[in-house]
Amino acid sequence: MNSRENENCERDFSIELDSSKHRFLSSSNGANGGVLIEGTLGRLQHASFVEPEILEVKGSCGVLRVNLRMSEITVIDTVNRCVGGETE
């Protein structure tokens, strides 16, 4: 990942799968038969649980949804983070 998030509050994402058998749709395969997908969600609009086990991160350029429980999230660092498209 690059440092674009810190400069303009855009949220980039990266998904790396070890094997192409763990994907449903892909247009590129890694050298080891894995899959790498990268992109940007744009400026953060909101991040919330839309269902008990679905985290939704919505940006100005797209939406990322992950099957995840709130109890599985660990906060590592909250200093100098961008929140809701604005810098704290």
What does the pLDDT read at residue 73? Answer: 85
Would you place residue 87 in the very low, low, confident or very high pLDDT band (cuts 50, 70, 90)? very low
Neighbours of 11 (CB within 10 A): 23
pLDDT in tens, 47-56: 999 999 999 9
> What span, in angstroms and rounded, lies between the C-alpha atoms of 46 and 13?
15
Two tokens at 69?
Answer: 């429980």
- Residue ranges per domain, the chain? 4-87
* Model confidence at 71: pLDDT above 60: yes
> What span, in angstroms and rounded, lies between the C-alpha atoms of 46 and 58?
5
pLDDT in tens, 6-45: 567 899 998 887 776 666 655 555 556 777 888 999 999 9
Give the pairing type, strands 10-17 and 35-51.
Answer: antiparallel
> What span, in angstroms and rounded, lies between the C-alpha atoms of 34 and 51?
30
> What span, in angstroms and rounded, lies between the C-alpha atoms of 80 and 67?
27
